[in-house]
Amino acid sequence: MTGFRHVEVIANVASGGVGVTAPAEIEKILSDHGLAANVRAPEPQDLTRSLRAAVDAAPDLLIVLAGDGTARAAAELCGPDGPMIAPLPGGTMNMLPHAIYGVRPWQEALRLALDQGHEQPIGGGEVEGRSFMVAGIFGSPALWAPAREAARHGKPKLAFLRARRALRRAFTGRLRYTLDGGQREKAEALIFMCPLASRALNNDDSALEAAALDVRGAADIFRVGLHALTGDWRTAPGVETTRCQTAHIWAAHGIPALLDGEPVKLKTLAEVRYTRTLARILAIPKDA
């Protein structure tokens, strides 16, 4: 799919999976496909402003090579009526890019998208004005994200300190929740998978796959945190799954959450709801 007239690119060269040569590589790949683009490589402090400027330029396609937070922010800014987006894997977890393009280098993902790509509306979850298109993790497993990031960056001491802090906070308050107005329940954590990534849902399903996780001790909470962050949460202890369109979550001291890999802190009461179209993506065939 190469019939784009106006292409904007955001490349966060400070992100772990990008590097200073990325803007030139993107220009070369686009040129090979007969496309030119306005490539922006902002400093980290200018990333949000540059992203907004790229969206305001109203391109046919917005290519984002950055981390999960920037990919999610791009989808929020573009919305269902704005530019089509191609979020490439340029961070550490790369939840949205991997769900769309599979686990492959960004250069290969971009070439595939330009060669075989097609427009696809993407649905997902919304909570407190924020969106997620792959997974929302609510509760104590979200506390393990900083430890995991420190470990990935080769900082074992910092990872240990953050893991110890997460473990101390794990049992300070369980979540109360209802799914689609049903009975009030309790859980250590809730995970909501979007149709894009769920193995139990089709892309056209108008629902989220919801999982309530319960634990009985420190060993279990460690496994829950590990499985939730690696995506194998169905094999974690005490998992019960269903599907829902709306959930209400309560917690005594605020709700730690991961939205497509980005840590956020929510208020003590949050509503999670499914939205059919959050943005438009440049997708590739499933068998690509």
- Residue 211 neighbours by CB under 8 Å, 6+ apart: 190, 191, 192, 193, 233, 234, 239, 240, 241, 242
Average pLDDT score, the chain: 83
Q: Is the pLDDT of residue 264 over 70?
A: yes
Q: What is the dihedral of CA 129, 122, 84, 16, to 10 degrees?
A: 70
For the chain, the distance separating the N- and C-terminal CA atoms, rounded to the nearest angstrom, is 14
Q: CB 236: neighbour CB atoms within 10 A?
A: 23
Cβ(190)–Cβ(211) below 8 Å: yes
| Average pLDDT of the residues in 104-129 | 94
The predicted structure's pLDDT at residue 57 = 96
Helix (H) or strand (E) holding 177: strand 175-179
* Owner of token pair 């490439």: 88
Domains defined along the chain, listed by start: 7-116 (3.40.50.10330), 130-277 (2.60.200.40)
Confidence category of residue 44, pLDDT binned at 50, 70, 90: confident
Where would I find the H helices in the chain?
22-32, 47-56, 68-78, 95-101, 106-116, 145-152, 156-169, 218-230
Which of 6, 102, 134, 138 shows the shortest CA–CA distance to 63?
Answer: 6
pLDDT, one tens digit per residue, over 87-101 is: 999 987 788 899 899
Strand partners, 262: 259
Q: CB 71: neighbour CB atoms within 10 A?
A: 30
| Average pLDDT of the residues in 218-235 | 53
